[in-house]
Every structure is written in C-alpha cells, then in structure tokens.
Chain A
Amino acid sequence: MDPITLAVVRGALEQIADEMDLHLIRAAISPIISETNDCAHGIYRADTGETIAQGRFGLPVFLANMQFTVQNLIEHVRGSGGFRPGDVWILNDPYLSGTHLQDVVLVAPHFVDGELFALLASTGHWMDIGGAVPGGWAPSAQEIHTEGIIIPPVKLYDEGKLNTGLVSMFTRNVRLPTQIEGDLFAMANVFSVGRRGLDSLIARHGRDTLSACISEMIERSEKQMRSYIAEIPDGVYHCEDFLDNDGIDDKPIRIALSLTVEGSSMHFDFSGSDPAACGPVNLARTTTQSTCFIALKHIFADVPVNGGAFRPTQFTIPEGCVVSAAYPSPVSGYLEPIGRVFDVVFGALAQAIPQRTPAPAFGTVGVVTVGGRQPDTGSYFVAVFPYPGGYGAHARGDGLVNGTPPVSMANFMSIEMSEHRYPLQFVEYALREDSGGAGRYRGGCGTQYRFMTRSECVVSALGDRVDHVPFGIAGGKEAAPSVVQFGIGGREMTPPMRSKVEKQRMHAGDWLAAASPGGGGFGDPLERDLEGVERDLNLGYISRRTAEEVYGVVVSEQRRKSGALRYSVDSGASARKRARMRGDQGKTAATG
C-alpha cells in the first residue's frame, strides 16, 4: 500500500464524516442538536458494518454505538431483501440501536456502479418521542412503552420513494411535530454530503484503491489498538460497583466487570451483574460495549475511531441483565448506569495501569428538572439542570472541578440566563469543599448549588452516588456522596430514594439544594506534598480536619485583620505525625 495515498485517503474519509456532522449541526432545528451536538455520523463497511470513519463533532456517547447499530441493521436487512439504491432505513429501538428512544438512527446504502460500496449513518436526538413525559425522560417508567414510541428497522425511503405514511405516524405521535419533521429531513439530507464526498474520492483514486485503503486503514487501526493493549500487563482484573437504587425498589444494583487482558486482546465480562432493574436505569447491550470504548478512548486519546480499533475486544454480557436491557425494560435513565459501567472499566484498568488511569469522576448525571407555569404569562416551562462534578485525580496531578460527564459535552446553564427564563432565584453556585477524594493527588471538588422557586412548580431529580460513592485508586480515598435536599414550607426534606424523586411540588420560597460528588483520589494521602496540603487549606478545597486526620499534617492558623484565616503547615511536626500514622496503619493491617 502506497503510504502517501493511505495517509491522504484516511484524512479525506474523516473529513467526509466531519462534514456530515457539521451539516446536521447547522441544519437541525432542535437546539439539542444545533447547540449541544447531540448527534453523530459515520461511514461503515457494507459487508461487516465496521466503522470506516466517524465524525469528530458528535458526542462521545455515540462513539462505538453507531457501529453496533449498523451491524444489527445489516443482520435485519439481510432477511428482508437487502439494501437497494435510494433506500434509507430508520430505527430507534434501544435493544438494537442502544442509548434511549430519543436517539433516532438513519442508515443509507451507497452504491458505486450498481454495487453496494458502503453504508452511511446519521444519529440525532429528537426533542420528543411521544410517551408519558415531555422530552422522553420518565423517572417512574417500568416498561419502555411509557417512554415513547418504538421505531423498529423500517424503510423511510424505499428506492428513493418517501414513506409519507410513516412520517405522519411520527408527527402525529410526538409533541413537537414541526420541529421533529424538520430534523428528520435534515438528517436524511446529510447523506447527500456523504455520497458526494465518497464519489469524489472514488473519482480521484478509483474504487479498487479506495477499497484497498479502507481495508488497510482498518487493519492499521487494529494494529495501533493492539499496541496499546499490549502495554497493559496480562491478567484478570475485577471491579464491581453499585447503583443506589432504580427509583422504584430501594435496593442497590450491582454492575460487575471482569476484564481479562491477554497479549494484545481484551475481554470484558459482565457476568455477575444484577438482573434488569424495574425502573429506567437499564443499559442496552450496544451502549454497554460502546461505554467500554469511550473509557478506553479517554485513556488512550490517540486511538483512531474506526472498526479496527474494536477488533481486539470481546464481550460477555448475560442476557436480560441491567447492562443488556431486553424488551420491555425501560432505559430512559440510561446515563446513570453508563456512569457506573464507565467507572468499573476505570477501576479494573487502574489495577493494571495505574499510571495511565484517572480515578473515577463524579459518576452521576443527576438531572434536576423544574416544570411549571410562568407567573406573568402563564406559559409552560421546563428547566433542566444536570450535575456538574469533580474529575478523578491521576498519576500526574489533581482532578479538575465542575466537569461535564465523560460521555457528554453539554454545559450548565448561566445563572443570570436561568433567572431570566424561569421563576427561580439562585442562592449559590460554588465549589463543594472537602468533596474530592483525598490522595497523593486529590480528586477535583464537586459543585453545590441551591435555588429558590419564585412560583408554584414541580421538581424531579434522577441522580445516584449517594450510598455508593466514587472510589479512589492506587491508595487514594473516595469522594463525598451526592446530596439532594428540599426546603418545603420551611422544613428540610431528603427524598426517600435520596437522589431520585418525581414531581415534588414546590411553592414560592421553597428551595432545592444539590451537591455533587468530587472525583476519586489517587495514591496515599500521607504522600501528598506539604505545600499542596497548605495550598488546599488556604484555598478552602479541604477542611482543617481533613488536613489533620487524612493528610496527617500539623497545622497552625493565624487570624488576619479582615477576619480571614491563614494556615501554615509545620513540615517537621507533620513528617513525624505522618510516620506515626503509617506505623499505626501497618499495625492495623497486621492485626486486621
């Protein structure tokens, strides 16, 4: 293979996928696509469904999910006559296409000289998909039908002819028909961008060269991925973690991973995970697989996103468990189990390659939704505030603060903007002191915020990580648990399911306070450098008590004219205290 052509063709294919992303981001009507990039595009091999290229502007959550969706569709289409020129298939069935019902996938074949050459796919988040709750997030759902309409794999265009009946089915069953129709056709139009790009590449290099380049590219990516895996010591690494509850039954839900690394291959085995949950915290199999890749990609950011990178991995996921949702398990709260799958992958890899693996992040999306009527106009509003939280510490430094979930890139709304839009008044938006896991490197602090309602409304929350907190690695400590509290009629109240509550009624002057976990710590806190502890104290990232009891330092304080306290750490006394604490730990370990 001519290395220049290979490098150029790879760049050109990635460019086509990027252009498909940008085309939809520009043309979509829903802000969720145009403003938070909740979409993804790719080019896939017609025979194996492997990814040839995926756009760089779509959300991480769709990283590998698209390939598995295309592969499931190929299987389905094989049994119903195969792809024909001009066909466009559509589906949102989470048991085939992952994530949740709002993510609708379109797939179109691309033919060259009458022969099937590649498949193009477009995923976009629809703002409504029918179902019990506007927007599709249904915290009390106990089956998928509550969450919206299911679109099985079906042809939107049959050899170029639009199935208008299908379009009316959609528009009659969703709450925002004009918007959804606009997004549907914007997605279908993206395929012309992909086809034009592929045709011009074929005109330039010839079909055979292009096919040869694609095969070679995928093999090279596999080689690249294998070279990373080969650096991970062989072994079997176990990690399990729990969801607090599913919002219906108050009992923890286990997610267990046994990760085997052998040479340049990896095997993810989720046997031992709990059966599907009653509530909407189940994860479709394809999304579980995809989440494992997202975790790897966050550690090895250079890994190319094509099918070759997925080849050295194998999965065992028992049927019907919480991470292989089957009909009719509800999935609309899927972002919570994603967080836990993500963290067990990190937890397992941390045992193998602690130098490269950060401790888990805050691990809960904790969406708080406020709904009601505007006091002045009477019009309906829905405000959504997802948790920000701390990122985990790592071998080279402390964790970041106020991060967005690893599978997302969405932001927190501006306080001033929120107060313009909704009858809410924020009282606080602050770093949460003492919430990051202690360690040689400290986890990033979580975030705490509090708002007061200015008129009657209902508030729902879907969070987690109250009973089971983000853990530390390599001897690092765990982060603080998440907290959701209400002040209703002057009384403080914690919801029975802690961070999960549906439609809590609130009146003017009532408040909600949320505090998210920080990230886990890395390494023994007794090894944190003393300047770091002193700085954290003076910046208020940690309390004096934590400094003394967890970091083992001796602190003196000095009150300044303004009343503020300044701390200094006594290095000699601290070293002696730390030696004593290490000794005690050793004894405890010996007797325990």
Chain B
Amino acid sequence: MALVGIDVGGTFTDLYYSRDGASADRICKVPSTPQDPSSGLLDSLITAEIPLDDLDLILHGTTIATNALIERQGARCALVTTKGFRDILELGRRDRPSFYGLTGLQDPLVPRDRRYEVDERVNHKGEVLVALDEDEVRLLGEALKEDDVESVVVSLLHSYVNPAHEERIAAILRDMEPNWAIVTSASVIREYYEFERTSTAVVQAYLQPLMTRYADNLLSRLGDWGFSRQTLIMQSNGGLVPVPQLPEKAAHVVRSGPAAGVTAAARIAAEAGFSRAITGDMGGTSFDVAVVIDGEPEITPATNLDFRIPLKQSMINVHTIGAGGGSIAWIDRGGILQVGPRSAKARPGPVCFGHGGTEPTVTDANVVLSRINADDPIGLTNLTRLDVEGAREAMKRLGAQIGLGVEETAEAILAVVNQNMAGRTRLLSIERGYDPRDFALVIFGGAGPLHGAAIIREVGIRTMLVPPSPGVLCAMGCVVADLRHDLSRTVARRTESFTADEVDAILAKQAGEGSDKLREESISIRDIGVRHFAEMAYVGQIHTLRVPIERGWDAARLSRAFEETYRNEYGNTLGEIASTVVSFRTVVEGLREHKKRDMPAPERRPLVEPDIVRPVYFGGWRNSPIFRRFRLEPGMVIEGPAIVEQADTTTVIEPGMTGRIDAYGNILVEIA
C-alpha cells in the first residue's frame, strides 16, 4: 500500500512518498500556490512522478485555514446570541495584547452590526427561564438576508447543557435560506465558557464556506489526475479526517502543518528508543517547540489564534518564538547585540539571497562562518550561489558598532539566537516540572539542524536526533498519523455527586459517537482505540487537570485518580478540599496499519571519506569534513567538527560532539 504525504506550507509544498508506509522512497519540494493551494499540491504529485496504480492514500496537511484567518479572508458571517450578550465576542474576558504597552488592534471576525440578540434564556442547569420567541427569529432572518451573509453562528448562554434553543433557531433560519452555513455553538464544543465557545464556533463558521470550496476543488483536481481513492487531512490534534468531512472540521485544521511535524517527530523518537522528546522546528521566521512524553505529543485544550480569538479545540501544544533563519540581528540602545523577533521574511530575505536585504540575519551568519555551503543553497530554485561577500559586508557594518570582527559578529549572532531557542526549550520542560536533561531533541525544519547542536549544549540535553528528511517532516507526519476524534462534555459538578453508572453512560455515549464517525469514514483501520479523561479541579480553582479515567469508575475512584494526578503535577495535594468534574472527554482513534520497524543497533562500520574538506568557523577557522547525507549508513560515526549536507537541510556537528547513524538512518548527535 503506497502512501503520499503532502504538506502545503506558506512557501513550499512538500511531498513524502512511501511504498511500504515506513521508509521514504521519494521526497520533493515545490513552490506553494497560495491563490489555489490544490494546484501546488498537484504540481508536487506530478513533479515527483508518483505512480497512480498502487497509490492507496493521500494524506495532507495545510495552512489554508491559518492563512484565511490571518489575512481575514474568511466568510461574511453573522452571530446570534442571547439578549444582553452580543458583545461577548468582542469583549473577551478583560485582557490586553501584551504585558507592556496599552495599544493594539482588535479585529473581531464578526463586526458588531452583524451581531444580533434574541430574547430567550436557559440557566446553568438547562432549565428554560425565558422561552424562545420564534417570530423574533424570523424577523432576524430577514435582517440576515439584507446583510447578505454566507454563514451564521448561533451561540446562546448555557447551550452546552441544553442546546434546544440553538437548534430551533438554526432550523428556522435553515428553512428561510438553505444556502447559509449555520453553526450552533454546542455542536462545535459541548463545554462552558461562553466567550471561548462562541469564538470557536465563529472560527468554524468563518472558515466553513472556504473549506467546502477547497475540499470540492481538491477532490475534483485529484479526480482529473486519476486518483479516486481516499484523501485524508491532518487536524491540529495530530489525527486525520477524510476530505469530505473537512467543511464540518474547518476549525480543527487550523494548526494542521505544525501538528504533522510533531506527530512525525514523536514517531521517529519513539522508534529510535527515546520515550521523552522535545521537538524543534526551525524555519525562516520562527522556532516551534513541543513536548512528547511516552511517544504522545502533549495536547492543549485551547489556543489563541489572534488577539481575542481563542479556539477551544484539542490540539498539539506547539510553542513559537520569533527565531528563524531570517531573524534580523541588531544593536539595542544599550549597545547589546539582539537577534529577532523581526524577520527579513522571504522578501527581501537574508543579505546573502541578493534580493536587496541589507540587515544581517541568522542565515547570513551561517553563510559567513561557512556552515552553509554558499555554492549549493537549499530550497531556492532561482539561486545558484549565495552572496557571501554581501553577507560579510553586512556583518562588518554591524560588528563595527560593538567592536567585533566579521566572523566574531557572525558567531555572536549564533550565540544569541541559540540562547533564545535554548531558553524557550528549557522553560518548556521546566514549566511542566521535567528535567530537560531527560529529553532527546528531535530537530527539523530547513534551519533546525544547523542550530540543534548548540541548543543541546546550552540546555544540557544529551542527544539531538536529526531524522532522515528533516526538511519534509511535516509531509511525513501525515503518513504516520492515525484517525482521531475528540469528544467532550461539560458537567461541572462535584465529583462525589457521580455514580459509576452515570459516568459509564456518558463515556459509553462518547465512545459510541466517535466509533460511529470512524465507521462512516470507511477508511481501512486496524483497530479502534478509546481513551477517557476527566477534566478536574479542586472546588474554586479555575484551571483544570486532565485525569486519565476508565469506564466503571465511581466517585471515590475518580477522586483518587485526581489526587494522584495533582500530586504528580504539583508535588502535593490540598487535603480535604472537595473536587469537581468540569468535563468528561473521550478520544477515539482509528489506528491505521503501520509497518512497525524494530531494528537492532547497527554494527559499527568505517566512515566514508568526506566529500570535501573546507574551513568552517568554530571559534576559529577549522578544516572540517563535509559529508553528503545519502552516503552515510547505519553504524558510521562522525567526529565533530563536521557538516552533513542534504537537499533539504545542513547539519552541524560541533567540535567535541559525535554523530552516529542509527539503524533507521537518523543522525544521533551527542556531546562526547
């Protein structure tokens, strides 16, 4: 069963082709086509000459949802709320964009004149306090017609307990205009917190018409190409859904690309024998880090897409800092060197690209120090050689301000950017109470393997793992992922008030719903995996803990599980204070057939001769061997300093470090 993974990013569309679902047979990178992303996707299939006959599945990650949000290119949308609460979407819950600075921009996805109220009220127990006025709803429908909207969100207070009014309004409006995409908040998440739920439903309605068009377009293009079997899309939670479900899952694919990368990195780390990993993806403008424990990427229940646009969906927890190859170095008013967060982006790009950039970037520093091969730049189809002299000139200008020479300035830029990334990586593990030294760093993205060695040195991590195709890891992640549905329901009651039967009934219903969805999808799966969780807190606390639970548990067993989880997380418990169950969650996964590899550690074998030896700067120019990646085989060991070059990235092995090729073709870099 041959598979293709395709990640459509902002700049490049990456493809990963595997005949057996385990190892790469072909990879390729083509420019993305933001006007119509499915066209770039087709280009990649054609460029890579993917044979159609034995192709079973296309698995696909995309930034189309993210871009539509950032550029505000989504649907013209209206919002209907309970009387007195139409401004919830704009008000949020009292905050500001940043710690310091009192100014900023807010741009709600639905402006105030398209937010309507209806007279109705349900309380927190689901009891109707004010009945719905259906005539008022019909009048409202007329106003919406005048507004010429494409989609309508209905979000009423406490609809997660009793969605009847939301559903009735949706039915009336659907009758009046069948072309509206109508989204009720309880159908998107069955949880309390009116602002977060409303915002999530609005994101869904804002994206739904766009995703409907995209899904139709994609399937028809693939059909024209001759492919009519299944196509799956990567969701932000690291699980897949079939393309026909994409419209209803529009809000679930906002972090599709990063999720795919972490999913792949988690799989690779587990296969290579590392149960705990930090994944680091460094591209042109940002460095994305995530934590993986026992092969599972850490999941967050919510994220902020923009100022006051929270999205409450389970997704892989990816943290971003503004550190990438394009990050610009500058001198602050105190005369201290800083790097980023401003980026030279794709245009003009680093000085060495020769597109008119004048401010030195991280990539320029790598070029000046000869870590990047100026004669064979990656990922740039229109450039044959990087402008080393231009980069050196820019370094010279910057260095003059702080009394440093060209190479010293470049090395200082790397020291600062590496420290920024190492700091975020450390905080990520410390915030969770882990010792960073227990982790392996899986580093990828075009710029990642240039910096990984310095990051592990700074953080005190023992091993850096560079996967075989670090530049197309997101595409690979699509291939190794499973199907997944997350279900949740707010109950918000004291733990002691639940009987084992009631808990069992709720969990059974969620598991049933998820399994039904999987069956409808008719994708071939090996098994269905079901996991249950309770979101719990001590009475009075705002933040909850996710506690793994099982069907059949009663109140006492739930309480015990909560205390164990609390103790693991915080080192103590609060004694006799009662706990509450805020919500029950169920994760249903359709586990696909994955070819499992379990290879013994390779025998040591002699290293090939380097392709070339060139001077590379490590505190001074040192003759360093350069290897092309495809010549390295399991069992070989490289002593640093050394550089490994491949089509999609460059790996630096610092002096005092060794790089060992493991059975799976990963490079494991360790401090000797």
Contacts and interface: CB of A to CB of B under 8 A. Distances in A.
A182 to B, nearest CB: 7
Contacts of A564: 113, 143
B84 to A, nearest CB: 4
A397 B419 contact: no
B311 to A, nearest CB: 16
A392 B103 CA distance: 8
Interface string A363-407: 000000000000000000000001010011010110111111010
A12 B423 CA distance: 8
Contacts of A524: none
In this complex, the interface size class of chain B, counting residues with CB under 8 Å from chain A, is 35 or more
Contact of B332 (A302, A430, A541): A302
B86 interface: yes
B103 A8 contact: no
Interface in B91-140: 91-106, 111-113, 123-124, 129, 139-140
Interface string B461-502: 000000000000000000000000000000010000000000
Contacts of A361: 102
Given A403-B102, A429-B84, A562-B142, A34 B543 contact: yes
Contact of B123 (A417, A425, A427): A425
Interface string B330-344: 001111111000000
A419 B423 contact: no
A403 B94 contact: yes
A34 B158 CA distance: 27
A227 interface: yes
Contact of B93 (A358, A406, A411, A563): A411
B430 A401 contact: no
A491 interface: no
Interface in A1-57: 3-4, 6-8, 10-12, 15, 18-19, 22-23, 26-27, 29, 31, 34-35, 56
Contacts of A414: 93, 192-196
Given A7-B337, A178-B574, A561-B142, A35 B99 contact: no
B420 interface: yes
Nearest to B332: A224
In this complex, the interface size class of chain A, counting residues with CB under 8 Å from chain B, is 35 or more
B291 to A, nearest CB: 14
Nearest to A182: B572
B334 A430 contact: no
B433 interface: yes
A12 B426 CA distance: 12
B87 A392 contact: no
A426 interface: yes
B427 interface: yes
B146 A562 contact: yes
A152 B143 CA distance: 66
Central interface residue in B102, B142, B333, by most chain A CB within 10 Å: B102
Nearest to A539: B112
A7 B412 contact: yes
Interface string B429-449: 011010000000000000000
Interface in A413-439: 413-417, 419-420, 425-431
Q: Is the interface of A mostly helix, strand, loop or mixed?
A: mixed
Nearest to A381: B540
Given A31-B542, A427-B84, A431-B87, A19 B430 contact: yes
A224 B423 CA distance: 24
Interface in B315-357: 332-338
Contacts of A297: 100
B386 to A, nearest CB: 24
A592 to B, nearest CB: 33
A403 B415 contact: no
A414 to B, nearest CB: 5
B522 to A, nearest CB: 38
A397 B423 contact: no
B553 interface: no
B114 to A, nearest CB: 10
B143 A415 contact: no
Nearest to B337: A7
Given A416-B194, A428-B84, A388 B91 contact: yes
Nearest to A385: B94
B571 interface: yes
A22 B431 contact: yes
B571 to A, nearest CB: 7
A540 interface: yes
Central interface residue in B85, B91, B140, by most chain A CB within 10 Å: B91
B629 to A, nearest CB: 31
A538 B115 CA distance: 12
B411 interface: yes
B298 to A, nearest CB: 15
Interface of A: 3-4, 6-8, 10-12, 15, 18-19, 22-23, 26-27, 29, 31, 34-35, 56, 60, 178-179, 182, 220-221, 223-224, 227-228, 297-298, 301-302, 304, 358, 361, 386, 388, 391-392, 394, 396-397, 399-404, 406, 409-417, 419-420, 425-431, 447, 450, 538-541, 560-564
Given A8-B415, A401-B106, 19 more contacts: A4-B411, A6-B336, A7-B336, A7-B337, A15-B426, A35-B543, A223-B334, A224-B332, A298-B101, A400-B96, A402-B91, A414-B195, A416-B192, A417-B492, A430-B86, A539-B111, A540-B113, A562-B143, A562-B146
Closest 4 CB pairs of A and B: A562-B143, A220-B334, A428-B84, A388-B94
26 contacts: A3-B336, A4-B337, A6-B336, A7-B337, A7-B338, A7-B415, A11-B420, A11-B423, A15-B427, A29-B572, A182-B572, A220-B334, A223-B333, A228-B333, A304-B334, A391-B103, A403-B95, A404-B95, A404-B96, A411-B95, A412-B93, A419-B123, A427-B84, A429-B88, A540-B112, A562-B140
